[in-house]
Amino acid sequence: MWETRSVQLSVRLPRDIAAQAEEVQRSDPEFLSRVVLYGLTRRSIYQHLRESDGVSTQETASDQPSATP
């Protein structure tokens, strides 16, 4: 397939989701790797399609309203 390498990720998740992620990491780390790969692949495809439509991802991000405190 392709060459792989390990990476360390630190993410902030709601407590219940974080507990599930930790359990999956212990019990089935390959599954967790596939989930992350799937998500990043979808993101890459989305960005590619947006750019091919002539709209950069930076433009769309700046068009979205920011959260107000």
pLDDT score at 69: 53
Reading the block at residue 7, the tokens are 């990476």
- Residue range 10-35, pLDDT digits in tens: 999 999 999 999 999 999 999 999 99
Per-residue model confidence as pLDDT tens digits over 34-58: 999 999 999 999 999 999 987 655 5
pTM: 0.63
Q: What is the pLDDT of residue 54?
A: 76
**Which pLDDT score, from 0 to 100, does residue 53 have?**
85
Domain ranges of the chain: 15-53
Find the Cα–Cα–Cα–Cα dihedral 33, 35, 38, 42, rounded to 10°: -130
Distance CA(34)–CA(7), nearest Å, equals 13
